[in-house]
């Protein structure tokens, strides 16, 4: 490293290279902790320094977050001041400092906004346009979609009617809003003119090139483990040797690009030990190990085959739906654009897309009165965090580069290994394509790491060597300190059981709690024993304290076990919200209160605001308040707070105060602007004063005041009510936009920090713990997908992955199957990049932690998360031994595996006085029983209200076919002799006008089996008054109410009435049995004489009618069947 001179910073030779590379554009692959911001700052200053320096207006520096932009601007400003302090050309650097605030240094969206103002008149846009934040833009999209749907319904638009019948209007609204927010016109509009066959052809090509390889990649971990086991098998016998060669050959065939379905089937058949007898095994241990390896491999193959099936009929229907949906998006976009013009604003997508359009065809000269940014004057462009670029942004940067794109105009810095914002549209492959396109002299790297100790880097390098390549190796600059190891494996196995006791598999929640408690105990012991780190400022070794520790999680959904465990060990902790601004607790508290002001009967919001700092009631207070008026709920209980039994004086006073204040604010809500109402609420409630007294109070206060400014923006735009505002804030809590928390200076803390990996990006900590490492976080559930090769895809009905007994074996479309395969693969790749980012945050110590449901020696790699799968492939989990051969010169990592069994439970905080059980409070407030783990009511206590008609009306493909069958099975014309095909077509045309041929054909097959049965023959000859069509009923017991129906009632020769229930393929048999059996007592209570038995009728896979006789259900039989149906997911939202 060269010594600094004067005002110069200390740079390595590797860092100086991109500063002096001038004749070619530079794509700098900057590893974690390698000083890229320093290089960016020095290159920016180098471009404007000296006699040949460029003017500030000729440079643009862009990044992707406000935080990164602020840091870059501050770094540049600090370096300018240091040059002034050194006396170097004072007049020049003084002028630079003065002009710096106006220089084009900022976020990508900020740059685009400034550029567009200069060309606004040519675009027919108001030069004073406002940039619509996510809140305002979301509300405008809601308005546009609502307006369009009402207009299209009034003129009976065939596209909307067809999609509405299949998907329902509410999902269509949500998908339209999503498409407006996330898709550009050039991604949607070309689909409008395609024929379904053309779209299906595109899907087939995408399946072959990306979908099928993505599905096969899921087999990788099990296949690699199998290959490694067989290749390292030392003891063998002739038959075992032959089996090994057969399986290795089959694995090689599957690994080949030309792998066929036959190759996969051959591997599945080969991976069996059935042909080997006792003498063919060197020992029993090898037999058991290979058996487990083969089982994992065959299970993986089974999943691959399952994910490789689709239905051609559904595929054709889905292609038609996509084209219909694209036309709807184009129609709705017109209304959305008109609303934006009326509000004189552009959304974030407009900024990017319109900037690209301007640069493609510069119309006229720039309006210098509207902007000081002239793109034609730009001579040099710097981009930070380039791995977070999307395709449209990449197009803009290429256009800015023009003819000098490869020859010195572009300077991009990024690291594809650290691309973790795919959910925001980032495409990490773009950086790789740019690097490949740039001239070799401009493809530079930063690999010298200034952050992390060598012992930790050796582990990170070894772990990710195959995934990212040998060139990803980070070279340590810091020396090691003290004795190692500095990487720690913390694996928590299931609790031990007696030898003669059958171990029960612990739940995921139980395992997470055990892991959190053991981790907190170990952390307390290590810190109390004098765990050491290097102080970042003094560079001296010192004892670690809790503020040195950061727990980094992928998601914050299960953070509470770790918070509780840390608190029990006496640690103060600081949890930084997982989804930034709109999911901060103080924001949720305000939203709950505004919800109650708008809707007094919102019980859940009322519970939230009463429990919050607004009114600070206790959990017990909520319980007694909800019981104040039997059966009436919390809202009416609040009105009776003065007389509610069980309330403490504190809770009674707070409840009466809440009632009075809420009534006052409701009287104001329609008479004052929302921002004024919110300000008054915060003032009169004392909420802000309560926040200031909390941990990180200044940040929380700043967040709340930022929300007031958001409300003021709503007021200024006009046309929105309180319900619109609350609805938009709630939507953002579930699907957060790009919104940072309010900035405050309260950053450092002596407490353990808990945050997501995304929030830790760009930060570093002496001790990094990665807990819950075995948690799989799947792809986000959605009904709308997009891929540049596939185009737009819609999720078929029923839900993807729900198989029906159709002839093809699946109810998937090829488009959705391919999209899910690509998405799953990309999610796994991003999960590994997220793991890499998390691991490289550590300065001195890295701890990998996970809880397991099986003993470590029996862990199945097929069931591990992507992160742990990688660890188990590269290292022996139980011992920490490195299993792979490393490149020459790479040190072998040292790993400490913590003996978790030796960590005896320590005494925790003194227990509090007995309290009303929290789940009982939730039950009382919400009215639905919860399990011990807080999950849905499908296990534990059964729900109080059961709606058996829900699946019949849920709009899935199976329910639509079932509805058609139920209507046609007792159709008078069918009984009179009309053919099943004619009846199915007629009834289908009446019930679902847009239904394709698939549902009607399946209903025809069912009816064909029905009319050929003896049961139908007897029904056909029965008098008309002995047959009645569908009948609904309600059964009310002491603890449960059940609503349902039967599909027909027929009177037998003995005068008794028999309920009939018809079941289509794919509909739940337990649901059908419940309907049939419960119809008997329900009809008896309705006045029918002698009811029963009931008959459940369905068509089997062989095409014949299956008739099942059902009796009435009582007691345990009813609970057992009901639980079977609920556990199958019948109550899950579609």
DSSP letter (8 states) at residue 882: B
Contact between residue 476 and residue 455 where contact means Cβ atoms under 8 Å apart: no
Q: How far is CA 375 from CA 212, 383, 397, 1122, in A?
A: 43, 15, 11, 67
971: CB partners within 8 A, 6+ apart = 978, 983, 987
Annotated binding-site residue? 30: yes
Contact between residue 722 and residue 669 where contact means Cβ atoms under 8 Å apart: yes
Contact between residue 854 and residue 861 where contact means Cβ atoms under 8 Å apart: no
Radius of gyration of the chain (CA): 33
Measured CA to CA, the distance from residue 722 to residue 593 in angstroms comes to 12
What are the structure tokens assigned to 584, written together?
């901060």
Measured CA to CA, the distance from residue 1091 to residue 1113 in angstroms comes to 13
Annotated binding-site residue? 364: no
Annotated binding-site residue? 37: yes
What are the structure tokens assigned to 675, written together?
């921002």
What b-and-e string marks burial along 771-791, b requiring 16 or more CB atoms within 10 Å of the CB?
bbbbbebebeeebbbbbeebb
Annotated binding-site residue? 34: yes
Give residue 348's Cα distance to chain centre. Answer: 22
Contact between residue 442 and residue 21 where contact means Cβ atoms under 8 Å apart: yes
Measured CA to CA, the distance from residue 385 to residue 426 in angstroms comes to 11
- End-to-end alpha carbon distance in the chain: 61
Q: Where are the beta strands (DSSP E) in 711-852?
A: 752-756, 765-770, 784-787, 791-794, 842-851
Report the candidate in 516, 540, 510, 544 with the shortest Cα–Cα distance to residue 528: 544
Measured CA to CA, the distance from residue 532 to residue 767 in angstroms comes to 10
Measured CA to CA, the distance from residue 343 to residue 332 in angstroms comes to 17
Measured CA to CA, the distance from residue 63 to residue 89 in angstroms comes to 29
What are the structure tokens assigned to 393, written together?
């942004």
Q: Specify the long-range contacts of residues 522-531, CB closer than 8 Å, at least 24 apart.
A: 522/490, 522/898, 522/900, 522/903, 523/549, 523/566, 523/569, 523/571, 523/752, 523/769, 524/569, 524/570, 524/571, 524/906, 525/903, 531/767, 531/845
Query: Is residue 76 classed as helix, strand or coil in its secondary structure?
Result: helix
What are the structure tokens assigned to 287, written together?
């037999």
1069: CB partners within 8 A, 6+ apart = 1063, 1096, 1098
Give the position of tokens 């040797």.
241
Would you call 1080 exposed, middle or buried from its count of C-beta atoms within 10 A (0-12, 13-18, 19+)? buried
Would you call 550 exposed, middle or buried from its count of C-beta atoms within 10 A (0-12, 13-18, 19+)? buried
Q: How far is CA 468 from CA 223, 460, 471, 836, in A?
A: 20, 11, 8, 10
DSSP string, 631-655: TT-HHHHHHTGGG-TT--HHHHHHH
What b-and-e string marks burial along 21-46, b requiring 16 or more CB atoms within 10 Å of the CB?
beebbbbbbbbbbbbbbbbbbbbbbe
Give the position of tokens 């765990």.
531
What are the structure tokens assigned to 436, written together?
């490949």
Measured CA to CA, the distance from residue 805 to residue 1101 in angstroms comes to 7
Annotated binding-site residue? 462: no
DSSP letter (8 states) at residue 1084: H
DSSP letter (8 states) at residue 319: H
Annotated binding-site residue? 996: no
Cite the annotated binding site by residue number.
30-37
Binding site, annotated residues for ATP: 30-37
């Amino acid at each position: 490293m060269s010594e600094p001179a004067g005002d110069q910073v200390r740079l390595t030779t590797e860092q100086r290279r991109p500063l002096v590379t001038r004749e070619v554009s530079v794509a700098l692959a900057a590893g974690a902790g390698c000083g890229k911001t320093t290089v960016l700052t020095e290159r920016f200053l180098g471009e404007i320094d000296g006699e040949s320096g460029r003017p500030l207006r000729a440079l643009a520096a862009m990044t992707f977050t406000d935080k990164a932009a602020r840091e870059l601007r501050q770094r540049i400003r600090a370096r300018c001041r240091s040059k002034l302090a050194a006396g170097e050309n004072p007049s020049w650097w003084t002028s630079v400092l003065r002009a710096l605030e106006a220089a084009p240094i900022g976020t990508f969206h900020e740059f685009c906004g400034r550029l567009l103002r200069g060309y606004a008149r040519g675009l027919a846009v108001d030069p004073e346009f406002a940039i619509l934040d996510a809140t305002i833009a979301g509300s405008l999209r809601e308005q546009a979609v609502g307006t369009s749907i009402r207009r299209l319904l009034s003129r009976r638009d065939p596209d909307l009617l067809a999609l509405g019948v299949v998907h329902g209007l509410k999902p269509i609204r949500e998908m339209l809003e999503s498409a407006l927010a996330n898709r550009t016109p050039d991604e949607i509009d070309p689909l409008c003119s395609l024929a379904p066959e053309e779209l299906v052809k595109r899907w087939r090509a995408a399946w072959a090139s990306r979908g099928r390889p993505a599905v096969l990649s899921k087999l990788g971990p099990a296949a690699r483990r199998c290959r490694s086991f067989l290749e390292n098998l030392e003891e063998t016998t002739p038959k075992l040797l032959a089996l090994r060669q057969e399986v290795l050959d089959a694995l090689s065939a599957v690994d080949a690009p030309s792998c066929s379905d036959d190759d996969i089937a051959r591997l599945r058949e080969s991976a069996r030990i059935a042909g080997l007898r006792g003498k063919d095994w060197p020992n029993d241990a090898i037999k058991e190990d290979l058996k487990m390896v083969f089982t994992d491999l065959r299970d993986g193959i089974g999943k691959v085959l399952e994910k490789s099936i689709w239905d051609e009929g559904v595929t054709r229907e889905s292609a038609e739906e996509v084209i219909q949906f694209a036309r709807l998006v184009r129609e709705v976009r017109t209304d959305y654009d008109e609303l934006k013009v009326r509000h004189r604003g552009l959304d974030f997508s407009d900024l990017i897309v319109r900037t690209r359009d301007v640069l493609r065809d510069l119309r006229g000269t720039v309006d210098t009165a509207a902007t000081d940014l002239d793109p034609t004057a730009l001579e040099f462009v710097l981009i930070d965090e380039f791995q977070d670029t999307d395709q449209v942004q990449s197009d803009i940067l290429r256009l800015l580069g023009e003819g000098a794109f490869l020859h010195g105009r572009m300077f991009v810095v990024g690291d594809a290994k650290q691309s973790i914002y795919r959910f925001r549209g980032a495409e990490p492959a773009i950086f790789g394509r740019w690097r490949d396109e740039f001239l070799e002299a401009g493809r530079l790297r930063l690999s010298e790491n200034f952050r992390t100790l060598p012992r930790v880097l050796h582990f990170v390098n070894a772990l990710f060597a195959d995934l990212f390549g040998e060139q990803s190796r980070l070279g340590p600059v810091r020396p090691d300190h003290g004795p190692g190891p500095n990487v720690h494996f913390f694996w928590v196995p299931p609790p031990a059981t007696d030898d003669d006791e059958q171990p029960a598999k612990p739940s995921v929640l139980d395992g997470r709690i055990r892991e959190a408690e053991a981790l907190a105990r170990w952390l307390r012991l290590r810190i109390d024993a004098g765990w050491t780190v290097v102080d970042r400022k003094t560079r001296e070794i010192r004892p670690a304290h809790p503020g040195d520790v950061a727990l980094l999680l992928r998601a914050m959904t299960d953070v509470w076990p770790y918070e509780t465990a840390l608190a029990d060990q006496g640690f103060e902790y600081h949890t930084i919200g997982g989804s930034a601004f709109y999911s901060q607790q103080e924001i949720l508290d305000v939203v709950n209160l505004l919800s109650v002001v708008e809707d007094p009967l919102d019980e859940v919001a009322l519970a939230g605001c009463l429990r919050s700092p607004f009114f600070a009631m206790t959990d017990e207070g909520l319980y007694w308040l909800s019981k104040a008026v039997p059966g009436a709920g919390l809202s009416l209980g609040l009105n009776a707070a003065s007389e509610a039994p069980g309330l403490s004086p504190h809770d009674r006073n707070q409840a009466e105060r809440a009632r009075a204040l809420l009534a006052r604010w409701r009287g104001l809500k329609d008479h004052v602007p929302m921002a004024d109402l919110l300000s008054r609420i915060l003032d009169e409630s004392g909420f802000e004063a309560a926040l200031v007294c909390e941990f990180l109070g200044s940040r929380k206060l700043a967040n709340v005041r930022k929300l007031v400014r958001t409300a003021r923006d709503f007021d200024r735009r006009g046309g929105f009510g309180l319900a619109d505002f609350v609805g938009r804030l709630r939507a953002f809590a579930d699907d957060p936009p790009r919104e940072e928390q309010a900035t405050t200076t309260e950053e450092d803390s002596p407490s353990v920090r808990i945050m997501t990996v995304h929030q830790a990006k760009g930060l570093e900590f002496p001790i990094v713990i990665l807990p819950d490492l075995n948690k799989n976080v799947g792809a986000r559930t959605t009904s709308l997908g997009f891929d540049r090769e596939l185009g737009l895809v819609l999720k078929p009905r029923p839900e993807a992955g729900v198989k029906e007994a159709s002839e093809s074996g699946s109810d998937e479309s090829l488009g959705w199957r391919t999209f899910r395969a690509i998405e799953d693969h990309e999610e796994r790749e991003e999960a590994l990049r997220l793991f890499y980012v998390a691991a490289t945050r550590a300065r001195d110590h890295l701890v990998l932690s996970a809880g397991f449901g099986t003993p470590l020696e029996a862990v199945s790699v097929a069931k591990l998360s992507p992160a742990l799968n990688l660890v188990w492939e590269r290292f022996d989990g139980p011992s920490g031994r490195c299993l792979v051969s490393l490149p020459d010169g790479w040190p072998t990592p040292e790993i400490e595996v913590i003996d978790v069994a030796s960590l005896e439970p320590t005494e925790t905080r003194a227990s509090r006085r007995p309290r009303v059980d929290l789940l009982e409070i939730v039950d009382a407030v919400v009215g639905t029983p919860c399990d011990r783990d807080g999950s849905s009511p499908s296990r534990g206590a059964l729900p109080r209200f059961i709606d058996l008609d829900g699946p019949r009306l849920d709009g899935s493909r199976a329910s639509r076919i079932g509805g058609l069958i139920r209507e046609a099975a007792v159709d008078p014309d069918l009984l009179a002799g009309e053919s099943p095909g004619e009846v199915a077509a007629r009834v289908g045309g009446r019930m679902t006008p847009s239904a394709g041929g698939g549902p009607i054909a399946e209903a025809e097959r069912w009816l064909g089996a029905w009319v050929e049965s003896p049961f139908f023959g007897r029904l056909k000859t029965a008098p008309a008054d002995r047959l009645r069509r569908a009948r609904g009923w309600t059964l009310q017991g002491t603890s449960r109410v059940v609503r349902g129906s039967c599909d027909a009632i027929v009177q037998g020769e003995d005068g008794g009435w028999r309920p009939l229930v018809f079941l289509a393929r794919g509909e739940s048999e337990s649901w059908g049995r419940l309907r049939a059996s419960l119809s008997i007592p329900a009809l008896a209570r309705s006045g029918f004489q002698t009811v029963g038995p009931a008959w459940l009728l369905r068509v089997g896979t062989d095409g014949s009618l299956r008739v099942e006789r059902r009796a009435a259900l009582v007691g345990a039989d009813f609970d057992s069947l009901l639980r079977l149906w609920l556990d199958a997911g019948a109550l899950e939202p579609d």
